[in-house]
């Protein structure tokens, strides 16, 4: 049985060191870590495909967080089943052990529990994406109506920003810890938090206006 680690960062500008350190501390050998510098929109990535060729029955694949595999939960579920059921390889997620497939929990197999958990995560991720898109569109419309000018397009928020934001707002992470989770400086993370909350407030105004108009 061999343990392999997989790392993904969205571009060459992002640093994989935080994920590397987590995998090394988890006991993964450096030579067994595969890294892609690509978007998580699909699984057509050279190092991921090389890793898939390397995996054998009984091996373990370790990632720091589920979004390091990808951003599209439909594709993640498909790959998850290929890895676990076709290749007979276990998966361990450092930041979310409930997804580990090789643990027995009160008589139930880890694969069953992790598969159910993944399905739930997929549902909420899809719902969250749709909600964010809707609220962003409505917020931008309100902002433009108020004369707000939009400058150069900002860089997209890094993967995992919503999770880091919620942990910060719930007091479970300091601003520095939350920023580190997504590879941002504390000042940049805090600025994007304020931008998000300003947009949320504008969206709330939209909802209030709809209710007042009976819509």
The average pLDDT across 42-58 equals: 94
pLDDT given for residue 215 in this prediction = 47
- The helix (H) or strand (E) run that includes residue 205 is helix 186-212
- What CA–CA distance (Å, rounded) separates 19 from 38? 15
Residue 128 backbone phi and psi in degrees, to 5:
-65, -40
Residue 145 CA: distances (Å) to CA of 130, 138, 168, 189, 206: 23, 11, 31, 27, 12
What is the average pLDDT score of the chain?
81
Q: For position 155, what pLDDT does the model report?
A: 74
pLDDT at 152: 54
| Half-sphere CA count of 95, side-chain side, radius 13 A | 16
pLDDT tens for 135-163 read 777 777 767 676 665 555 567 788 888 88
Cα–Cα–Cα angle for 103, 105, 109, rounded to 5 degrees: 65
Rounded CA separation 176/172 (Å): 12
- Catalytic residue, from 10, 104, 114, 187: name it: 10
Q: Report CA-CA distances (Å) from 130 to 15, 119, 124.
A: 29, 17, 10
Q: What is the pLDDT of residue 30?
A: 95
Greatest CA separation for the chain: 64
pLDDT at 102: 81
Split at pLDDT 50, 70, 90, the class of 110 is: low
Closest by alpha carbon to 144, among 206, 64, 215?
206
From CA 134, how far away is CA 155, in angstroms rounded? 19
**Each residue of 16-34: pLDDT tens digit?**
999 999 999 999 999 999 9
| 10 is a catalytic site residue | yes
């Amino acid at each position: 049985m061999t343990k392999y680690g997989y790392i993904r960062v969205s571009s060459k500008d992002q640093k994989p060191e935080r994920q590397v350190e987590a995998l090394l501390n988890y006991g993964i050998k450096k030579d067994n870590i595969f890294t892609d510098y690509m978007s998580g929109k699909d699984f057509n990535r050279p190092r991921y495909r090389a890793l898939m060729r390397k995996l054998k029955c009984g091996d373990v694949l370790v990632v720091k967080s589920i979004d390091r595999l990808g951003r599209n939960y439909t594709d993640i579920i498909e790959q998850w089943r290929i890895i676990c059921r076709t290749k007979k390889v276990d998966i361990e997620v450092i930041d979310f052990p409930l997804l580990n497939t090789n643990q027995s929990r009160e008589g139930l197999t880890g694969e069953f529990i992790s598969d159910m958990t993944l399905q739930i995560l997929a549902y909420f991720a899809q719902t969250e994406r749709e909600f964010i898109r809707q609220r962003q569109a409505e917020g931008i419309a309100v902002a433009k109506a108020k004369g707000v000018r939009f400058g150069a397009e900002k860089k997209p928020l890094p993967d995992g920003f919503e999770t880091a934001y919620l942990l910060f707002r719930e007091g479970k992470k300091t601003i520095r810890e939350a920023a580190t989770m997504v590879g941002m400086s504390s000042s940049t993370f805090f600025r994007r938090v304020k931008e998000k909350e300003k947009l949320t407030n504008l969206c709330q105004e939209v909802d209030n206006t709809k209710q007042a108009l009976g819509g």
